[in-house]
């Protein structure tokens, strides 16, 4: 599969994740909805953009070397688990922010523009 097609699928997946998250949030009664946290939304967005950029530019060979890619993904998951073990509301906002960051990055690089890095 081409990198461009992967980027488009990643964009579509992030859009669907955002739509599902918002749909679920609206199903909750008003008094049970967790408050929005701009801090965790922003940190999540920066993380989403950063991860896409690292992958597109193949920093450290995380795209071309499967083991390194898996290791980086596991590292991200471990850090996220450690940060949000006792804070499900912050985890939700972080995940929403990461999807927002992925959508913004993929809209610029993948949907509207060319992907950074070589096309090997």
* Whole-number pLDDT of residue 119: 57
Residue 29 sits at the vertex; the CA angle it makes with 104 and 19, to the nearest 5 degrees, is 20
Each domain of the chain, given as residue ranges in start order, spans 3-111
pLDDT in tens, 25-56: 888 888 888 788 899 999 999 999 999 999 89
SS3 content of the chain, % helix, strand, coil (to 5): 80, 0, 20
pLDDT in tens, 51-109: 999 989 988 888 889 999 899 889 888 888 888 888 878 888 999 999 999 999 999 99
Here the tokens at position 91 are: 């985890």
Here the tokens at position 110 are: 């993948």
Residue 120 banded pLDDT, cuts 50, 70, 90: very low
Of all residues in the chain, what percent carry a pLDDT higher than 70? 98
Question: Other C-beta atoms within 10 Å of 72: how many?
Answer: 19
């Amino acid at each position: 599969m081409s990198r461009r097609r992967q980027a488009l699928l990643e964009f579509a997946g992030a859009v669907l994740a955002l739509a599902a998250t918002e749909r679920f949030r609206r199903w909750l009664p008003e008094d049970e909805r967790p408050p929005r946290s701009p801090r965790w939304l922003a940190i999540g967005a920066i993380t989403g953009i950063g991860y896409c950029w690292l992958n597109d530019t193949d920093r450290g060979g995380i795209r071309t070397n499967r083991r390194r890619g898996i290791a980086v993904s596991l590292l991200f998951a471990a850090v996220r688990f450690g940060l949000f073990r006792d804070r499900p509301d912050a985890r939700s906002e972080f995940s929403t922010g990461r999807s927002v960051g992925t959508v913004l990055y993929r809209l610029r690089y993948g949907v509207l523009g060319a992907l950074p890095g070589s096309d090997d």
